[in-house]
């Protein structure tokens, strides 16, 4: 048996030549992704709606020894991604990886106040604009700037792979749509040497999806934990490895894939709802 030198193992996760753009990176999974990419050597471009928050996250990465830049942008605004990608290419360099992560919850589930008869047009439109159209805008802009060896990673959800009474109608609808967007895009861009994959997280602590705030109550966490075979919600550190893998050289023959990171939730054949 040949033992692979540690330098070759390290190269599998080395992003030191990459410029990685992450939307929705001012908090939660997007911030966690930006931080692990910077730790792997990438120059990270942090995108989010709040200019102050984007600046804080980028500054934190720089303070930790990484390379980061921040730009405020609303992915739901038509044409905004093309404009910010032009700025990034001019001021930072041509992106090699784009992570379409921005997303919002869009109200309560039908177990609460989100019954379909009461679901408003405004809630529906807002979620579609950010989660589905915003993702489309992001990957379209990415396809215009990425070259051979480029990678696109989209944050979907286990709620797009099955019904999920814990989240809103608009959320499950948009996340399901994102998955076929990823698969179709992977087919188109493969001949150009660009890989496209998605990550499908289950319930994670520290996000604004599913809880509406940064911290959640023990009672709410217990409800989510009851839907997961591992018996608990995930932590931000536990999503970083999969997100790193899907843009790193280690996954060079992976495209069109949907990677669930859910503590085994999708393996259940029934739930207690």
pLDDT tens-digit profile of 211-258?
444 456 787 788 878 889 999 999 999 999 999 999 999 999 999 999
pLDDT tens-digit profile of 114-129?
999 999 999 999 999 9
Nearest-angstrom CA–CA distance, 209 and 207: 5
Task: Report the percentage of the chain scoring pLDDT > 70.
Answer: 93
pLDDT of residue 211: 40
The beta strand positions in 49-121, using DSSP E, are 67-72, 97-100
- pTM listed for this prediction: 0.92
Q: What DSSP character marks residue 241?
A: H
Catalytic (active site) residue 171: yes
- Which residues on adjacent β-strands are paired with residue 198? 154, 258
The count of other CB atoms within 10 Å of the CB of residue 14 is 16
pLDDT tens-digit profile of 38-63?
999 999 999 999 999 999 999 999 99
Overall size of the chain counted in residues = 273
| Annotated catalytic residue, options 71, 119, 169, 171 | 171
Nearest-angstrom CA–CA distance, 257 and 183: 7
């Amino acid at each position: 048996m040949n033992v692979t030198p540690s330098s070759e193992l390290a190269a599998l996760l080395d992003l030191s030549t990459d410029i990685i753009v992450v939307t929705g990176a001012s908090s939660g999974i997007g911030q966690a992704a930006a931080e692990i990419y910077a730790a792997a050597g990438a120059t990270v471009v942090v995108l989010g709606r709040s200019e102050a928050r984007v600046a804080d996250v980028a500054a934190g990465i720089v303070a930790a020894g990484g390379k980061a830049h921040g730009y405020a942008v609303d992915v739901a605004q038509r044409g905004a991604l093309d404009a910010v990608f032009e700025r990034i290419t001019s001021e930072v360099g041509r992106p090699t990886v784009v992570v379409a992560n921005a997303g919002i919850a869009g109200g309560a589930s039908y177990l609460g106040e989100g019954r379909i008869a009461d679901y408003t047009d405004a809630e529906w439109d807002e979620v579609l604009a950010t989660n589905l159209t915003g993702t489309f805008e992001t990957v379209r802009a990415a396809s215009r700037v990425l070259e051979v060896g480029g990678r696109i990673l989209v944050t979907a959800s286990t709620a797009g792979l099955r019904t999920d009474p814990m989240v809103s109608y608009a959320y499950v609808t948009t996340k399901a749509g994102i998955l076929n967007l990823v698969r179709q895009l992977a087919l188109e861009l493969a001949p150009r040497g660009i890989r496209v994959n998605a990550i499908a997280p289950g319930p994670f602590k520290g996000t604004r999806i599913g809880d509406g705030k940064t911290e959640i109550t023990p009672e709410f966490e217990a409800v989510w934990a009851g839907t997961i075979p591992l018996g608990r919600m995930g932590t931000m550190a536990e999503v970083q490895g999969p997100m790193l893998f899907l843009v790193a050289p280690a996954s060079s023959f992976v495209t069109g894939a949907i990677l669930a990171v859910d503590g085994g939730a999708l393996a259940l054949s029934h739930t207690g709802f």
